[in-house]
Amino acid sequence: MLPFDLDLISDCYEVYQRGSARNGVYKIFLPGLKYYVDVYCDMKNGGWTLIQKRSSGDVDFFKDWKAYKEGFGVNTGEHYLGNDFIHFLTNQGHYSLHVELVNWKKEKRQAMYKDFWIDEEDDGYKLHIEGYDGDAGDGLSKHNEMKFSTHDVDNDQVIKQFGGSCAKRFHGAGWYYKCYSSNLNGQYYEDGVVPPKKFDGVAWKPWTGPNYSLKEVVLKVRPKDVL
């Protein structure tokens, strides 16, 4: 039982400000959704709300539009929080995005984006992102202003190349643009080994190139004015 009114809690940073310092699952309420959502909060690093995690390959991320709209997986492990929730979360204020990447040698890189939000479903969950900083290289700015794509809903602006669908060709989903600088919802490959010419792994091209699949990925958000 949390020692405060849940109706006032709209992200993990608010939970953190109220004295909770333990990583774990907390209930968040957003008026736009009109129901509570269980989210995983990174409190050790200052109250970040996780929106995606890859770490084991236990969850298949090659899913349809409805699954990405509603979210899937287990929030204590691999999961995608859901585009509806990410939209309402990142449009209630100004948010930053933190991308954490780990390769199979356990080397770590990060990418920070000062501004991050996505539009509503009627606008294709269009991505808005800017203000890169970090040591992973910029794997998302190319995707700015793109609508979300899945294997059953194609918004990637590819007509003939790759069979007309980046999501199908690269076994993933995301804000593809002819096709990707990052493919964080791609196929999970043990030891990072992607079959020749597949290029469909969990990729962050500026760091590891297109033919390597990362071991761990975390995407998390927090209000941008937090120092």
Fold of 12-223: Gamma Fibrinogen; Chain A, domain 1 (3.90.215)
Query: What predicted TM-score, i.e. pTM, was given to this entire model?
Result: 0.94
Question: What are the pLDDT digits (tens) for 50-85?
Answer: 999 999 999 999 999 999 999 999 999 999 999 999
SS3 of residue 46 by DSSP = coil
For residue 45, what pLDDT is reported? 97
Helices (H), the chain: 12-17, 65-70, 83-90, 166-169, 205-208
Q: Which of 81, 69, 84, 75 is nearest to 23 (CA)?
A: 75
| Whole-number CA gyration radius for the chain | 17
CB-CB contact of 219 with 99 (8 Å): yes
What is the torsional sign of CA 11, 74, 112, 108? positive
Question: What are the pLDDT digits (tens) for 91-112?
Answer: 999 999 999 999 999 999 999 9
Percent of the chain with pLDDT over 90: 87
Domain boundaries, the chain: 12-223
User: Using CA atoms, how far apart are residues 21 and 41, in angstroms rounded to an integer?
Assistant: 10
User: Using CA atoms, how far apart are residues 202 and 150, in angstroms rounded to an integer?
Assistant: 15
The per-residue pLDDT of the chain, averaged, comes to 94
Using the structure block, give the residue that is written with the tokens 């699949």: 213
Q: Which two structure tokens, joined as six digits, stand for 208?
A: 């590891």
Percent of the chain with pLDDT over 70: 95
User: Using CA atoms, how far apart are residues 116 and 215, in angstroms rounded to an integer?
Assistant: 24
Q: Which two structure tokens, joined as six digits, stand for 28?
A: 């968040």
| Average of per-residue pLDDT across 218-222 | 99
| Average of per-residue pLDDT across 184-206 | 96
For residue 2, what pLDDT is reported? 47
